[in-house]
Amino acid sequence: TSIIFLKGNDYLISNLLMSLALAFLIISLLMASIFKSLRMILISIVPNIIPLLFTAGIMGYFGVNFKPSTVLVFSVAFGIAVDFSIHFLTKYKMELQLSNNISSAVKKVQLEISNSMIYTAVILFFGFIIFVFSDFGGTIALGLFTALTLFIALLSNLILLPSLLLSYDKAKSKKE
């Protein structure tokens, strides 16, 4: 049974990595079709990688092993974090076409989008954190780590994403 468990665990981890790589590729292609810029693709991916790395680091620090319940955290949280980014960036592109000024477009998007992102994140956070009161360890881990990852994803998309967009503005203005 130990060999079967180890093979199953290896299969889960390799499939997690494969599905995340495929998701990154699809999101990159989507962002490439929207923005047609390599720098914008990188800007859109960075705020979505950080919550996953943060959660993996916390799991490693506390010695939490990869199990089916903990592996699910990455897929669920990545999907929601990407949703935050896509919501922000599509609104940003619309505002950028109207104002043609990156700084004002970022500010306007932050004012309009941040409340809905926060409300969504709070609802999902409490929806997952309720799993902590379960008696099953896998459910506790799923709820705790997904809620933590969603919180970091929200901060990443509200703070880091606008900062990256503004740094893109500064880099663009230096070239001109």
This prediction's pTM: 0.85
- Per DSSP, the residues of 19-53 read HHHHHHHHHHHHHHHHH--HHHHHHHHHHHHHHHH
pLDDT tens digits, one per residue of 159-174: 999 999 998 766 665 6
pLDDT of 70 above 60: yes
pLDDT of 148 above 80: yes
Single-letter residue type at 175: K
**Chain-centre distance for alpha carbon 119:** 16
pLDDT of 176 above 80: no
State the sign of the Cα–Cα–Cα–Cα dihedral 154, 155, 159, 160. Answer: negative
Instruction: Identify which of 69, 64, 59 has the alpha carbon closest to the alpha carbon of residue 142.
Output: 69
pLDDT of 80 above 90: no
pLDDT tens digits, one per residue of 97-134: 898 888 899 999 999 999 999 999 999 999 999 999 99
| pLDDT value for 33 | 86
Rounded to the nearest 5 degrees, what angle is found at the Cα of 36, between the Cα atoms of 156 and 89?
A: 30
* Mean of the per-residue pLDDT values of the chain: 87
Average pLDDT over every residue of 67-94:
85
| pLDDT value for 7 | 86
Helix (H) and strand (E) counts in the chain = 6, 0
Residue 175 banded pLDDT, cuts 50, 70, 90: low
| pLDDT value for 69 | 73
Average pLDDT over every residue of 44-59:
91
d(CA 153, CA 85): 9
Average pLDDT over every residue of 141-156:
93
